[in-house]
Structure 1
Amino acid sequence: MTDAAITPDQPAPLAGAAHTDRLRAGLKRRYARERRFKLYGLLAIGVAVGFLLLLLGRIFEQGHTAFYAHSVAVPVYMDPARIDRAYPQGTNFELLVAEQQLARLGVQDDAAGTKATAMRGLFSSELKFVAADRIQKNPGLIGQTVSIAAPLADDADLYFKGEITLETPAEQRRLSDEQIGWLDRLKADGLVAGHFNSALLTKGDSTEPELAGVLGAVVGSALMLLVTALIALPLGVGAALYLEEFAPRGRLTNLIEVNINNLAAVPSIIYGLLGLALFINWMHLPRASPLVGGLVLALMALPTIIIATRSALKAVPPSIREAALAMGASKTQTVFHHTLPLAMPGVMTGAIISMAHALGETAPLLLIGMVSFVPGIPHAVTEPSGALPSLIYIWENASERAFHERTAAAIMVLLAFMIVMNAAAVLLRRHFERRW
């Protein structure tokens, strides 16, 4: 009887073992799915980082050559018969240097002066200003042989950078084989030297690539961001405070919130059209000025600042508000003495990121005229000015090859500007952040 009672229970261990095997197989499949999911995530990150490195590498490869340039230390006889002591700027130093260099190389010019013109094409127009400045500061140099560091023209500079060679098809370069031969002889004589291209960072835009710089665009962008910050920050933070802390909940408030969220997704070119119609055609503000650009970018940054500020205010624990009110503080005192200071890290982070995003916008600036050629450096928000995004657009569409390397260099400057702003946002957030 005892054996008969035990017999039906004997398959139980087998059933338990099968159930355990099924559980193990299920766990194995689940862990495999988790490993595949992690692998897909790492693969996605790797692809994104790879494309980013490819982009940055391409920009650096094309733009790093713009940060150095070449000049030729040519000996020049300051012929008294051809130099005006009273007005040295009127002297044709370019022709003077070209003729003397042809004579030094033993090249005979023709009656039309063709070879002298070709030699002049190797030097930048900055040469005449350098020579005239030397004479103006020291008139006693007239009648003497002076060594002048003559800046090279853009194509001659590209030749020494390896961007142009004899193998380059003639229709793709403006240097003739004879001019390249002259450059080789100048280098063989030890007259060619490379140096840091300070003009790229200290001068404004120019029609000649070797003289073009980004300083005017950097100053214009800085003035634009100043106008944007002065307008967008108070309005954006104030609007967010009212909507989050004071506004009664209702249909009107919900409608405003929905429209603010929609405005954050409006294409930037629409803001450019609005700025053209409102600030230029109706209010008659100066075209292509940082003032108009800042106003347009402020309109574009407002929705982002409002949304970021409201998110920062929501992150403040309700207990802070309740404690302040319990101690007898008014609603206004609670908001401005407790809630807003604690939300300030998020507010500043959102503001800086929104302005960094506005800094890279090009379409609105094109519509308000900031695509025009502005050679100088602006000194006020009402003066015509360029901006880094519009300067990049102008240089990329220029026909001279040397502008293309300067386009990549300007992109590097813009990226550095944006990295600094984003780094400031991170540091401010870490400095003021509190953990609850």
Structure 2
Amino acid sequence: MKTRMDGDTPVLALSCNLTSDVLPELAQAIQAVESDNPCRIHLDLSRVQKIDSRSVGMLLSWHKRFTARAVDFRLLHVSPDTLETFRILNLEGVLNLGPAPASSEDLTMAQRQALWASHEYAEQVVSALGTALVGLNVEGEILFANEAAERLLETPEADLIGRPLRDVADVMDASGSPIPPRRCPLLAAARGAVQGLRESLLMAPRNGQRFRAIQATGKSLSHEGRILGAVIGMEDVSERDTAAAAMAQREAFNFALFQHNPLEIIVVDREGRVVRSNMAMRQSGRPLPAIGDRMFQDYEPDHEGDMRGVLMECIQSGVSRDFPDLKWRDRYLSIAIAPFPHGAIITTQDVTRQRRAVDRIARLNDSFTSLGPDCAANLRLLTALCGEQMGAACCVYWRADRETAAVVGAWNEPPGLSERILTRES
């Protein structure tokens, strides 16, 4: 390998094929001329007939590094076969590879700027893609990788180029079972055995600490019937899958809250038609609504007032309504209507016992206004009211002496009550 100067441009002339064993010497030579901070670095490939995949990858890596420093990195006198390979892989325009013009005067300044802008734009587009892009040859070796691929594989591009994909990461199916290289869909796409690759896989980078769920897509590249490899896109969907699992867990929790809520719940759509009811509704003993029934019209139309009209008004206005003490047949119900964007949630609680207890207390309170001067009569009245409201036998007695007991007031007095009281106290 020789280095010569063409004006102020260092030119590295290779005298053999560009293969993996030559790369260390070429890298040292490039590092030597790079220390002088040149504006251009050219490689003379006039004697090169073959470039292997790892060398192609290194050329990509060098071009990326020099482009970032505004250094014009070119290949001179590329053989037709090598140039055709770059064209087939669609790398010629992106990397500015190909025979350099014989004279710098062959390109005007405007053409030079336009060419540079197009290369820079394409480079930025590939680098900025959120999807990891990896180019593989038919042997499954990595030819190029963008920044997203470096992050996904947790390996710098310089350490990816030329290495087999199976040495960089372990590929597993969605269940976590390892996939042998001969059955790996990514490598199958590179061999042309799979067209239109789209697979959900797990990947464990060798340099990484965790598994990654990926959605892999890819397309094989061919020229004149010969498979050259594939470009593989890999999207890291680990966070999306985690979020989906968390959402599914929240949905299961919310559904359990709905089903096991002690309140009877019916959900209706914006037309007031029943779409769902919970377990408490089924255990209430009341008739169950059929899916599609119009609430308060086909189902339970005999409520006091226009409950159907109230429901539709709530859905349209978005305002909740509460009916804490609504008479329905021989029961009292507490009904709440809460609208939401897709309809309304109707909760019902049977408050018949509470309502009757309130009525009893009110009657007892009213009885005190009926008390008169006769204490015995007052006791009889209160005993009867208490027994009636509590639904149990109730009596008041007094002992005249140690031998007898007299009942002053009683309600549903059991036979022989006075005798049992006397016997117990004796």
Do the two structures share a fold, i.e. TM-score over 0.5? no
Question: TM class by shorter-chain length?
Answer: under 0.3
Higher helix share: 1
Higher relative contact order (CA 8 A, sep 6+): 1
Answer with 1 or 2: which has the greater Rg. 2
